[in-house]
Amino acid sequence: MADLTYTPPKVWTWDKANGGQFANINRPVSGATHEKDLPRGKHPFQLHSLGTPNGQKVTILFEELLAAGYSDAEYDAWLINIGDGDQFSSGFVSVNPNSKIPALLDYSGGEPVRVFESGAILFHLAEKFGAFLPGSGPARTECMSWLMWQMSTAPLIGGGFGHFYAYAPEKYEYPINRYAMETKRILDVADKRLGETRYLAGDDYTIADIAAYGWFGAFVRGDAYGDAATFLDVPSYTNLVRWGEELGAREGVRRGRIVNRKGEGLVPERHSAADIDIVLKG
């Protein structure tokens, strides 16, 4: 049993034994732990990722672009197994020094351009193709505001609520209550906004919705952190549920959210549309 009277030392030192479920990959320093080059496929966009909520954002956008007729948005999606420490390979760290998925190499202009952080990747692709992002004015600003809002909320939902509710080695009332409160406040912000407009940024579906769906969609579907949807009373956020179900029915969303995930009905790697077609058509 953990010591409930813990007093922080004057200078913190790392004790790997206290790392919980992710002790084998979490560490207080950055950089590569081993040499390994990233693979490269034939398409202009090379995505190295895992189908977590942050990873799903990018594959959903790629699939939405392809569904909208942007054939130049073809991509290879390579699986990064964070449980095995793939994110600490020299190749991955060269694309994302922060060793977090997703990471993208864009070869569409000849010389590779690295893009890391899911929000930056969404913005990069939306601006490149002129899609799912208003071109200028207040609409563009509103979209960017909601995109940045989502990026700021993810650590509270995932690293805060998700960690202490589902992954921490022991359950403690204070952190669970603290982050449940924050998560419900975030859900309430989205619910109130979606009571005013069809989508987060207004009347049009944008990268702000794609970013938010990666996280909120799991709660609406009821597959986030076990039964967290019941614990947080997600069905009571009726506007959010309406939005989540509408987005969940989109072909691009259905295709994108199963990429870079292992298991039945999922696609660990995507190198052509057929990789997803085979799974969805059974």
pLDDT, the chain, mean: 95
Check: CATH 1.20.1050.10 for 137-249?
yes
pLDDT digits (tens, 9 = 90+) for 209-227: 999 999 999 999 999 999 9
The residue written with tokens 């913190």 in the block is 12
Interatomic CA distance for residues 28 and 10, integer angstroms: 17
Fold of 1-132+271-282: Glutaredoxin (3.40.30)
pLDDT at 54: 97
pLDDT at 26: 85
Q: pTM for the complete prediction?
A: 0.95
User: Peptide bond before 112: cis, by omega within 30 degrees of 0?
Assistant: no
Token readout for 187 is 């859900």
Domains of the chain, residue spans: 1-132+271-282, 137-249
Look at residue 1 and tell me whether its pLDDT is greater than 70: no
Look at residue 279 and tell me whether its pLDDT is greater than 60: yes
Please give the sequence-ordered ranges of beta strands (E in DSSP) within 50-149, or none if there are none.
75-79, 103-106, 113-116
Model confidence band, residue 61 (pLDDT cutoffs 50, 70, 90)? very high
With both helix axes pointing from N to C terminus, report the angle between 207-221 and 238-248 in degrees, rounded to the nearest 10.
110
